[in-house]
A and B are shown apart, each in its own frame.
Chain A
């Protein structure tokens, strides 16, 4: 079939038209192989511009379309729909970015024109080698697995479950509620943590569409968005398997115990961690080991800060909350926070800090703090900023350790072949564009699994994760797969599995019967890692073939 390419250069108002000589660009591509029409237009993305393109495609019987305009991030999908509307395959289209990559980067009109010519010629050289691509539709299971029965998991489950969507809520502990259940109060509003948990838990328990599996751990997660096979096991070793379409990883966090020893923890009586004091408070016994009420308490911030190499952001506030417990319940107690840097982000936190100070808690800025047992109480030796050492006698020490990811986060990441961040937390796909997604479609994150956070932050994430699933995995609707994916030619593959190790999405499987690797088109995101790693040229990207790239480069470098 004859290849008939139409090239249209957008003026983008003055953006492109004033920065370069569009007529010369049009002229430079007019004689190229396959180009039957090249022209300029005021604003192609506008309604009239799109209609113009549709009319042109029909009038000239075009088979391929090139638009030279803005970034493909902005309008690639617009012009691909134009192609569809005009009856040609949307992948027979190529965009040349002559605005962000040309017009906006130089005031030199001559240089800009020269460069625009290369970009547009490259697009023509490439598009002629495009092949029509098609998406597929796959059946989806709308059900969801929520891992972790803390507030993140509970709120996600409550939002997601409905008559058409079942939720499996898996919690490894015998009871739901997570860490927040153990907090009498939550900063900064000093509302009850346990009441909050109860409220969510009641919603979950009242919902017939939620299956709560406590004392249960997830053994394996296989599959992809819309089609995950889940295997779980309870404490008695009884297994269960079910299908879901999406997964919310709502695992929590834990205290970093690595550096506690440096502060006399475990050796000196009455040195506690923040979580231990939370538990003591909940039981109503904020007391020393000998049963007496403490007269003075030192709260040490930033314990393990050097070890963890990050600010855990919630511990300063947690320390203030403990100060408030002590002041509220014991009244006559001196509470001092020994901090290096105080992390009090946001208006509510600032207000909370002021209230805590008004309640009588003192804050002393120190360097390194050492905890010594004097035989008659605890002595804190605090290095001051000036290098002097100040001694402070206290009855009780509360350590505010940094926050780490829960133990099973690593195992889950391995199960899903997802990367962990440098600090052991799971990482989001994109901090701004996809903050609760993972690089595996259909797996979402909420709460401590992503890093230290407050209850509000956790709930925002769990609701966001639920929102992603509600919007993307609609019961009865099929999923459209990405057309621009990789493929592996069976006759070329030598089964070396190099591609498998470089695939970030777990989208390649090894078929031991045939001795070759196979791409799962649903999981593949078309990143092209496999295509570049494959020595045989067996793996290739459907929309970035060597030939297409070569021709594009050849025109650019001419």
Chain B
């Protein structure tokens, strides 16, 4: 069983974590830390070098303003740069790992610090009342968060590449446990002269209990969803609300293409084609890409989908796009026994050639 270092948090875990990160900067463990900084209802990822800036940091905001994987990409797309300690949720770390496999980040010098994630509340709730929405008691979180099983790292084979994990579940309210997950995590604690001597049994039990509950909820939720979206007619109806604003794609950490084919000039149909289609089929829908866009995006990114729920959060017309993608992703990833973000070494299924595979889907 792993052991952890007990971080005292008399003023709450957020303040304690901010203090810990400040120490990391003071003791030159990192050149900068990536954290969320909050100002009113505005909450964004900031790469902080000046330790005093951490006084305004909200290390565990109840909302996901931007997917942290995307934030990491913006800092490291063009080289490894400085030593960064990035405080992210588990799904954000998994996204960063996927992006590194897609050559969109160079995560070599990044130390990932994860935390037990209670889930985040929908952006719309947050914007209507940022103060009231702050209660991190697990209620009112997004649908996808409420069925997320990968909210922590306490397994022998941790999903994702966190180096250090902040355990809060099953831990007394006035403290948190710093659990080193990788060799680099051990090093960080050593540099800070912190010895992880605290038992983690209570945390592990709590996480496993919740995970089991979540797994059942997930299966139930997907069974329900499947009924609503199976078949072309059902899909057309669900995605029929789509405005083609493509916000889901913009918010998605995995959609890394600089220019997307969907909505680009070559994808567009000539006026004459609309007319022809109408002639042929009796009618021609004027947002012809609606469903095609989602199916196309799904075929491109479902293998790497980390179920972070950003897409669903930003959808202005409340399409359960995140749940659908997560459900499809679970199936496609299962085909290749692939867990996105689990390790930087596992090859992306598309990039790995296997002579005999998928035999059951052949003719």
The proximity string for B residues 80-95 relative to A, scoring 1 for CB distances below 8 Å and 0 otherwise, is 0000000000000000
CB-based nearest A residue for B264: A537
Is B351 at the interface (CB under 8 A from chain A)? yes
Is the CB–CB distance between A492 and B259 below 8 Å? Answer: yes
Is the CB–CB distance between B258 and A536 below 8 Å? Answer: yes
Is the CB–CB distance between B256 and A537 below 8 Å? Answer: no
Is the CB–CB distance between A496 and B259 below 8 Å? Answer: no
Is A491 at the interface (CB under 8 A from chain B)? yes
- CA A537 – CA B264 in complex, angstroms? 10
CB-based nearest B residue for A510: B103
Q: From known contacts A502-B351, A546-B266, infer whether A536 and B102 are also in contact, taking CB-CB under 8 Å.
A: no
Is A494 at the interface (CB under 8 A from chain B)? yes
Is the CB–CB distance between A498 and B351 below 8 Å? Answer: yes
Residues 34-55 of A contacting B (Cβ, < 8 Å): none
Tell me the minimal C-beta distance from B268 to chain A in angstroms.
11
Which residues of chain B have C-beta atoms less than 8 A from A497's C-beta?
Answer: 103
Chain B interface, DSSP helix/strand/loop, else mixed: loop
Residues of B in contact with A, size category? 20 to 34
Is A77 at the interface (CB under 8 A from chain B)? no
Which residues of chain B have C-beta atoms less than 8 A from A533's C-beta?
Answer: 350
Which residues of chain B have C-beta atoms less than 8 A from A502's C-beta?
Answer: 350-351
Tell me the minimal C-beta distance from B269 to chain A in angstroms.
10
The proximity string for A residues 77-106 relative to B, scoring 1 for CB distances below 8 Å and 0 otherwise, is 000000000000000000000000000000
Is A547 at the interface (CB under 8 A from chain B)? yes
CB-based nearest A residue for B301: A535
Is the CB–CB distance between A535 and B300 below 8 Å? Answer: yes
Is A432 at the interface (CB under 8 A from chain B)? no
The proximity string for A residues 491-506 relative to B, scoring 1 for CB distances below 8 Å and 0 otherwise, is 1111111100110000
- CA A495 – CA B104 in complex, angstroms? 8
Which residues of chain A have C-beta atoms less than 8 A from B261's C-beta?
Answer: 536-537, 546
Tell me the minimal C-beta distance from A500 to chain B in angstroms.
9
Which residues of chain A have C-beta atoms less than 8 A from B350's C-beta?
Answer: 498, 502, 533
The proximity string for B residues 337-356 relative to A, scoring 1 for CB distances below 8 Å and 0 otherwise, is 00000000000101110010
- CA A495 – CA B350 in complex, angstroms? 16
Is A515 at the interface (CB under 8 A from chain B)? yes
- CA A536 – CA B103 in complex, angstroms? 14
Which residues of chain B have C-beta atoms less than 8 A from A547's C-beta?
Answer: 266
Is the CB–CB distance between A495 and B351 below 8 Å? Answer: no
Is the CB–CB distance between B78 and A536 below 8 Å? Answer: no
Which residues of chain B have C-beta atoms less than 8 A from A493's C-beta?
Answer: 258
Is the CB–CB distance between A536 and B266 below 8 Å? Answer: no
- CA A68 – CA B33 in complex, angstroms? 66
The proximity string for A residues 531-548 relative to B, scoring 1 for CB distances below 8 Å and 0 otherwise, is 001011110000000110
Which residues of chain A have C-beta atoms less than 8 A from B348's C-beta?
Answer: 498
- CA A558 – CA B280 in complex, angstroms? 8
A498: contacting residue among B78, B102, B301, CB under 8 A: B102
CB-based nearest B residue for A422: B355
Which residues of chain B have C-beta atoms less than 8 A from A538's C-beta?
Answer: 257, 259
Is B260 at the interface (CB under 8 A from chain A)? yes
Tell me the minimal C-beta distance from B90 to chain A in angstroms.
23
Is the CB–CB distance between A535 and B351 below 8 Å? Answer: no
Is the CB–CB distance between A495 and B259 below 8 Å? Answer: no
- CA A496 – CA B258 in complex, angstroms? 11
Is the CB–CB distance between A515 and B78 below 8 Å? Answer: yes
CB-based nearest A residue for B276: A554
Is the CB–CB distance between A492 and B258 below 8 Å? Answer: yes
Which residues of chain A have C-beta atoms less than 8 A from B102's C-beta?
Answer: 494, 496, 498
Q: From known contacts A535-B300, A537-B266, infer whether A494 and B256 are also in contact, taking CB-CB under 8 Å.
A: yes
The proximity string for B residues 248-262 relative to A, scoring 1 for CB distances below 8 Å and 0 otherwise, is 000000001111110
Tell me the minimal C-beta distance from A33 to chain B in angstroms.
8
- CA A558 – CA B348 in complex, angstroms? 37
Tell me the minimal C-beta distance from A507 to chain B in angstroms.
16
Which residues of chain A have C-beta atoms less than 8 A from B104's C-beta?
Answer: 494-496
Is the CB–CB distance between A495 and B257 below 8 Å? Answer: no
Residues 230-282 of B contacting A (Cβ, < 8 Å): 256-261, 264, 266, 280
Which residues of chain B have C-beta atoms less than 8 A from A494's C-beta?
Answer: 102, 104, 256-258
Which residues of chain B have C-beta atoms less than 8 A from A496's C-beta?
Answer: 102-104, 256
Tell me the minimal C-beta distance from A124 to chain B in angstroms.
14
CB-based nearest B residue for A419: B353
Residues 188-232 of B contacting A (Cβ, < 8 Å): none
Tell me the minimal C-beta distance from B310 to chain A in angstroms.
18
- CA A547 – CA B104 in complex, angstroms? 29
Which residues of chain A have C-beta atoms less than 8 A from B355's C-beta?
Answer: 422
- CA A501 – CA B103 in complex, angstroms? 12
| Chain A residues near B (Cβ < 8 Å) | 422, 491-498, 501-502, 515, 533, 535-538, 546-547, 558
A sample of 19 cross-chain residue pairs with beta-carbon separation below 8 angstroms, ordered by A number, consists of A422-B355, A492-B257, A492-B258, A492-B259, A494-B258, A496-B104, A497-B103, A498-B102, A498-B350, A502-B350, A502-B351, A535-B257, A535-B301, A536-B258, A536-B260, A536-B261, A546-B261, A546-B266, A547-B266
- Give the 6 A-B residue pairs with the shortest CB-CB distance, closest first: A537-B261, A536-B257, A501-B351, A535-B300, A496-B102, A492-B259
| Chain B residues near A (Cβ < 8 Å) | 78, 102-104, 256-261, 264, 266, 280, 300-301, 348, 350-352, 355
